[in-house]
Amino acid sequence: MAAFDSLWTEILDVGRDGDSGGYRRFAWSTADATLREWFVGAATTRGMDVEEDRNGNLWAWWLPPGWTGDPRGAFVTGSHLDSVPDGGAFDGPLGVVSAFVAVDIVRERGIVPRVPVAVTAFSDEEGARFGVACVGSRLATGSLDPDAARRLTDIDGTTLAEAMTRAGRDPQHIGVDPGLAERVGVFVELHVEQGRALDLVDKPIAVASTIWPHGRWRFTFGGEANHAGTTRLVDRHDPMLAFATTVHAARSAARDHEAVATFGKILTAPNGTNAIPSEVRAWLDARAADEAALTAMVDLIRARAAEAAAGDGITLEVTAESVTPIVEFPEAPRTRLRRALAHLGDIPVLPTQAGHDAGILASTVPTAMLFVRNPTGISHSPEEFATLEDCRTGAAVLADVMVDWTTTDHGEST
């Protein structure tokens, strides 16, 4: 099936860093604009009408013949096009490319859907630039306040509102999409797996069961800048020490709760080799199998950080930037997916520790997810990988699901 390969190749160079080989496709950047143009082109080539909603999410529509009025009860599939810093090629774009290819496959089979079909690309899923993940889907579902969103700031001090304005969008219009529940009958997001579960059972495709509850917390340790050579150790108020203790505390708290906790981003001021820092700002990413475990773990990390800060005479402020509750994908769409894919044998059903737009949209519309095998399990890295064969299988499977959902009567009742 050459269709997947050629569409996939079209975006392989967009936003790719020549040195690292990783992708830097941040929200409202030049790379983001190029990918949006590509999306419009892919949709237009297929005769699909494209709309960008006021939150920057892209929708390409395939309406049944004779359909009048606004789309309702649609089968919607897609993912996101943005990336983490030096991310891989598959996280996000695989779901968007597969969605277009699934449309091609369904059409090649001569099947005409009875309900509208949409391919989507949700805006700013990774939150790499403004710190909050899934901005497009959170705004649409009302789980992110538009004022708070407009004030989000990137590392250069540019607000989301300014970035959208520079990209030719009007940030005053962002906010909840009241027509979402009626428009979307189901949202199915195909995504590269971000672990090794499928490789371990030697299967190409899985259906998602849950998304672990997760969140991001900003820890600000405030100390006193001073000379790295002349300041006696006993006279120092060095916030780096409490931060270092907190990193270790996070690791042991995660182990104790059978969870994960990561400090992957840190900003230090004044950031000089020969200066004791005045401030360390660090972001904790924490995820656990249930909300009680997540809360207990983060409380423990926070307590250890406070203890270490007090011991060194420095200040500590902890701010929850985003906390996403557990998502249990509803049984009905999941059962239908498995039924539509019964010809493939037993399809594994897996929980995921990664956040997704499908998890955010689940608060408002029925959602489901499909995972495509990632042989090494590596993700959010240039090493992220899936074989072309598995990617083609993923698109074909998505087409099977699309056919099942859009041609059988129980589409809207389940």
Residues that bind Zn ion in the complex, under the rule CB under 5 A: 91-92
In the complex, least distance from residue 59 CB atom to Zn ion, rounded to whole angstroms:
18
Closer Cβ to Zn ion, 81 or 102, answer by number: 81
The one-letter code for the residue type at 302 is R
Q: What are phi and psi of 51, to 5 degrees?
A: -130, 145
Closer Cβ to Zn ion, 106 or 133, answer by number: 133
Q: Residue 144: name the closest of 154, 162, 131 by CA.
A: 131
In the complex, least distance from residue 89 CB atom to Zn ion, rounded to whole angstroms:
12
In the complex, least distance from residue 55 CB atom to Zn ion, rounded to whole angstroms:
17
In the complex, least distance from residue 146 CB atom to Zn ion, rounded to whole angstroms:
23
Closer Cβ to Zn ion, 91 or 154, answer by number: 91
CB atoms within 10 A of CB 385: 18
In the complex, least distance from residue 180 CB atom to Zn ion, rounded to whole angstroms:
20
In the complex, least distance from residue 184 CB atom to Zn ion, rounded to whole angstroms:
19
Closer Cβ to Zn ion, 262 or 407, answer by number: 262
In the complex, least distance from residue 90 CB atom to Zn ion, rounded to whole angstroms:
9
In the complex, least distance from residue 354 CB atom to Zn ion, rounded to whole angstroms:
7
Contact 277, 266 (CB under 8 A): no
What's the half-sphere exposure (Cβ side, CA atoms, 13 Å) at 121? 30
Closer Cβ to Zn ion, 118 or 369, answer by number: 369
In the complex, least distance from residue 57 CB atom to Zn ion, rounded to whole angstroms:
14
Beta bridge partners of 262: 285
Contact 125, 60 (CB under 8 A): no
Beta bridge partners of 187: 76, 367
* Tokens matching residue 13: 């160079």
CA distances from 20 to 86, 113, 165, 218, 383 (A): 7, 43, 30, 27, 10
Closer Cβ to Zn ion, 81 or 316, answer by number: 81
The one-letter code for the residue type at 111 is I
Closer Cβ to Zn ion, 32 or 91, answer by number: 91
Closer Cβ to Zn ion, 92 or 222, answer by number: 92
CA distances from 267 to 131, 271, 278, 389 (A): 13, 8, 11, 41
Closer Cβ to Zn ion, 191 or 304, answer by number: 191
Whole-number CA gyration radius for the chain: 23
Q: Is 32 helix (H, G, I), strand (E, B) or coil?
A: helix
Task: Write a three-state SS string for 198-244.
Answer: HHHHCCCEEEEEEECCEEEEEEEEECCCEECCCCCHHHCCCHHHHHH
